[in-house]
Amino acid sequence: MRSDIVKEGIDRVAHRALLKSLGVLDEDLGKPFIGIANAYSTIVPGHMHLDKITTAVKEGICSAGGVPFEFGIIGVCDGIAMGHRGMLFSLPSREIVADSIEAMVEAHGFDALVVVASCDKIVPGMLMAMLRLNIPAIAVTGGPMLSERVKGEKVSIKDAFEAAGLYKAGKLSSAELKLYEDFCAPYCGSCQGLYTANTMQILTETLGLSLPYCSTSPCASSRKLRIAKMSGKRVVELAKSNIKPLDFINERSFENAVTMDMMIGGSTNTVLHLPAIAREAGVKLKIDKFDEISRKTPHVVLLDPASRDTVADLDESGGVPMIVKKMKEYFSNEMTVSGKRLYEIAENAVIRGRDIIMADKPYRKEGGIAILKGNLARSAVVKASAVREDMLRFEGNAKVFDNEESALKAILNNEISEGEVVVIRYMGAKGAPGMPEMLLPTAAIAGMGLQRVALITDGRFSGATRGPCIGHVVPEAIEGGPIGLLEDGDVISIDISARRLDVKLDEEELRERRERWKPPKKELRGYLARYSKLVSSAEDGAVLL
């Protein structure tokens, strides 16, 4: 066992003494040592229940003859970090999560690993660590938040973000605004819709790195605790059999994940996270693969923010296994951490509530995410599933902002008109740095009732974003990309169906502007300074090189 390095031999007397100070018994020294990376905290709603889930994992480990050792992992709550300096640390925290798990596992010689988390960046960072370490491992995801109702309709955190714009536009009273504040995030768990957190949990299950139904079973359910306990038992079996993630995770596993992403209309952040995770498995997942799969994959599930249905509704429809069962021909029958293949799991899927998986009548013939190219971007990403049909092709004059704050102020002060394109630049992985999410501006546009306004950025978007919002523009502005050369009034053309993003300027005009352009300077210290120097472009997953 790997753990023998810390517990076997005469020269490990002090090591054993330290282990016994933790309560380890003599009889435990021959058992597998299982590390548990737990992202529990009292600042992230998606993580505030992970202590209970981790307790269930530990019970499963002990019952199967393993010894659990729990350690903490950081987690940034994007919702609380949104719209201020804190968002600069969100995406970069993914690398901290991966690196810290690697350090803890290698330093203490664990035989196997369980990762427990719910939210975006934390789940991807944990999966990166699992594949990088390649020891027996399993993921336990915390599950979605349940919804309450306001004015008779189910609400989610998206509605709270948009409520500010509605209030500013005079469409909500202060009393109504308070209702959204009080009831849009009423429970533990990842925010209700198909935002990045729940998207990544679903893709974790599709990859085969968590047990069936782990991703969609609600956070506070006893079912979730049973899955956690079964995961604890399973990881001990994996340790005893020395079954490692890279024994069954391969390029086809990642293609399955991208396929699922397209079918459900998941968050655009997956275009950052899946390539970063794949890289740890030695798989090159190029951005063009997303568009290739999107072109041939129907969009069959419509969840919040594109509808009022939530991930809990998908769970009642049979979750990931039912999607695979109904759309079997689109998926490769890969092995999973459960010891069962994808098709075998799908055979037993059942529908317990409304069936919201529209296999026979897809919402669109193509998938939920599109990759755009043109003279404005070598690549850019849009959540096509959240764009109205009449906005798939759009042309408008640019209103250019060099930071999120000035753009948000202009939107809320009625300085943006129908038919315009809001451009927020210097928000990329290097430029911000950290590629902050632009949920506040997009939510404000929706809340203000602006129906025909697009937004383009070299930053990124929350999965709660809806509308013609195009992000991940590469090259980013700080590196001299065309988005950094735009001026107010430039005509921007968007054609999502044709996968085009262009500015109506000739090459000579762009060349002249490039000669005049000077990058802004930012004084950086600490982690962000190191991150900005080492991070790759968004189309490569914004990984540290």
Active-site positions read 462
**Closest by alpha carbon to 455, among 485, 410, 498?**
410
CA distance 205 to 260: 10
The DSSP element (H or E) to which 509 belongs, if any, is helix 507-516
* Whether 201 contacts 191, CB under 8 Å: no
What residues have CB less than 8 Å from 29, skipping those under 6 apart?
Answer: 7, 16, 19
Q: Which tokens is 41 given?
A: 């905290």
- Say if residue 530 is exposed, middle or buried (CB neighbours under 10 Å; 0-12, 13-18, 19+): middle
Kindly write down the DSSP assignment for every residue of 100-148, as one continuous string. HHHHHHHHHT-SEEEEEE-STTHHHHHHHHHHHH-SSEEEEE--BPP--
Beta-carbon contacts of 477 under 8 Å, excluding residues fewer than 6 positions away, are 425, 426, 427, 428, 431, 458, 483, 484
152: left (phi over 0), alpha (psi -120 to 50) or beta: left
Phi-psi region of 343 (alpha: psi -120 to 50; beta: other; left: phi over 0): alpha
| Residues of the chain by 3-state class (helix, strand, coil), percent to 5 | 45, 15, 40
Q: Report d(CA 115, CA 101) in Å as an integer.
A: 9
Whole-angstrom distance, CA of residue 108 vs CA of residue 85 = 35
How far, in Å, CA of 438 to CA of 452, rounded? 18
* CA–CA distance, 446 with 162 (Å, rounded to integer): 6
Peptide bond preceding 433 in cis form (omega within 30 of 0):
yes
